[in-house]
Amino acid sequence: MKLAILGNSPLALEAALRFHLHGAALTFYLDSDSLEGFTSMSLPAEAYTSELGMGLLKEMNLSYAPENFEWGLWEENYKAPLIQFLKTHQELITDEVVSITKRFLAPLESIPGKSRFLDLFRVIHRVNPREFIESQRESDPEVFKRLNDEVLTSLSSTIEMYQDYDLVLDFRSDLGKASAAVSGRALGENRRSDKLSYGLDALKAAQEMEPNPRNRELALIGSDSLAGEILLALEEWLRDTHSRLFVVSAEEEPFSRFLEEGNQQTVKKLKKLFQDIEEEFNQEIEVFTKKLREWQQLDDFVQVKIPRPVEPIPRLNYFSGHNVTAIDELVDRKRMFVTLERPEFRQGKKHPENNILDLKTIGADHVLVGHAKKNLQLVGLDSQEKGYFDLTPSRPNVNRGWEKDLKTLEGIEDEIFKLFSPVGAD
């Protein structure tokens, strides 16, 4: 069988090793996935390893046995030699995948008496022209000499190529640029701005964020494991009394799911942060209540001269059950403006006082999109397409994520073996 494995995650590496040993002819499409930004928890030493991987290292007279897990050590001593091992036996491609389609079948088209699995999958990828030209120069220098300038110039533009496969295993992460809207796309979101960050870029921006007049108010979109990691990265920034964070989430109780599924260390830190911010706000409310009571007891002619105490606004402010429907940036490019809507079928249980208006706009110095989803780039396919297997790797701060992913991978192996019969079988 010929298959394509997509992704540069530990899970994709594990799948490539397994199917190589199963005798498959595979193409491993590596992309720029990275999980190194997740730093809220300490991973066990055996994280992102397997008996198969460790066994192969041993056969190559190499070892990997860190006392404490570090991404750099894992990359250098586990991943790199195994990638090199695969490279000597299989095809590895670092190009961007443009789309995954069927070779001939139209969407919903069926073949009389046959399964759609009869038709191959086509993976189109974008080739780096410089690398392609250099490879041609090295493989056939005589032909390369005969190419004229016009041909060489044409090769300098973007080149797309394709390969066809029996199976596609899509193990790409969902941490790239997606959309601020859980429904797919927000109005005006296609603009590029240094005040709008997505996925891992949003996490990196949060880790570098410092309290200053240019970043007093931030908006965090989402409340899953990535958003939780971003929020913890903003802890020092958030504890500054001049900082305010708007959390926009489609969840009625933001972070409720992650607090159940997350890594114990991360969840503990997140709960502690929530508790500290809540206690601090309650103290501000007590001070405000006392000052308001004192102000109300003043005579009218004195009240006119003394401003009424201002009610404090939470520095961690929730818009729960909301969708982002538009993102705008004014000409002066000083702030971003995010338009929010809450549908009738969702309640906003966290900070319900923000639900008075169905449509509202909040201003922020920077918008961090903390939910993401894989850009599948599928044409005419869905998750039920026989021969196409989609598994988004668990993020590091999800409890027992690696263990669960390996279990799911075993299930995918079983499904694939059902699709093929041994050579010589009736």
* Tokens 């006082």 -> residue: 353
Range with lowest mean pLDDT among 13-17, 83-87, 141-145: 141-145
CA neighbours closer than 13 Å in the CB half-sphere of residue 378: 17
For the chain, what is the radius of gyration of the CA atoms?
Answer: 27
Q: Please choose, from the candidates 168, 178, 172, the residue with its C-alpha nearest in 3D space to the C-alpha of residue 124.
A: 168
Domains and CATH numbers, the chain: 2-174+374-419 (3.50.50.60), 196-369 (3.50.50.60)
* pLDDT score recorded for residue 424: 46
* pLDDT score recorded for residue 18: 96
What is the spatial distance between Cα 253 and Cα 261, in angstroms, rounded to a whole number? 14
| Three-class DSSP category at 246 | strand
How confident is the model over 352-365, as a mean pLDDT?
91
* pLDDT score recorded for residue 34: 73
C-alpha dist (Å) from residue 263 to 175, 220, 257, 282: 18, 21, 12, 28
Strand ranges (E), 128-212: 159-165, 167-170, 196-198
DSSP per-residue codes, 307-363: PPPPPP--SEEEEET-EEEEEEE-TT-S-EEEEEE--TT----SSGGGGS-SEEEEE
pLDDT tens digits, one per residue of 331-350 = 666 889 999 999 888 889 99
DSSP per-residue codes, 365-423: SEEEE--------EES--TT-TTEEE-PPPPTTBTTHHHHHHHHHHHHHHHHHHH---T
pLDDT surpassing 80 at residue 143: no
pLDDT surpassing 90 at residue 139: no
Q: Which two tokens stand for residue 383?
A: 């998750």
| Three-class DSSP category at 261 | helix
Whole-prediction pTM value?
0.80
pLDDT surpassing 90 at residue 36: no
pLDDT tens digits, one per residue of 370-424 = 887 666 566 667 667 899 998 989 999 999 999 999 999 999 999 999 887 554 4
* pLDDT score recorded for residue 151: 58
pLDDT surpassing 60 at residue 1: yes
* pLDDT score recorded for residue 14: 97
How confident is the model over 254-267, as a mean pLDDT?
94
* pLDDT score recorded for residue 426: 45
Contact 251/320 with Cβ under 8 angstroms?
A: yes
C-alpha dist (Å) from residue 243 to 143, 227, 235, 308, 334: 63, 18, 10, 23, 17
Range with lowest mean pLDDT among 50-64, 233-247, 298-312: 298-312
Specify the amino acid at residue 342: R
Contact 345/323 with Cβ under 8 angstroms?
A: no
pLDDT surpassing 80 at residue 31: no
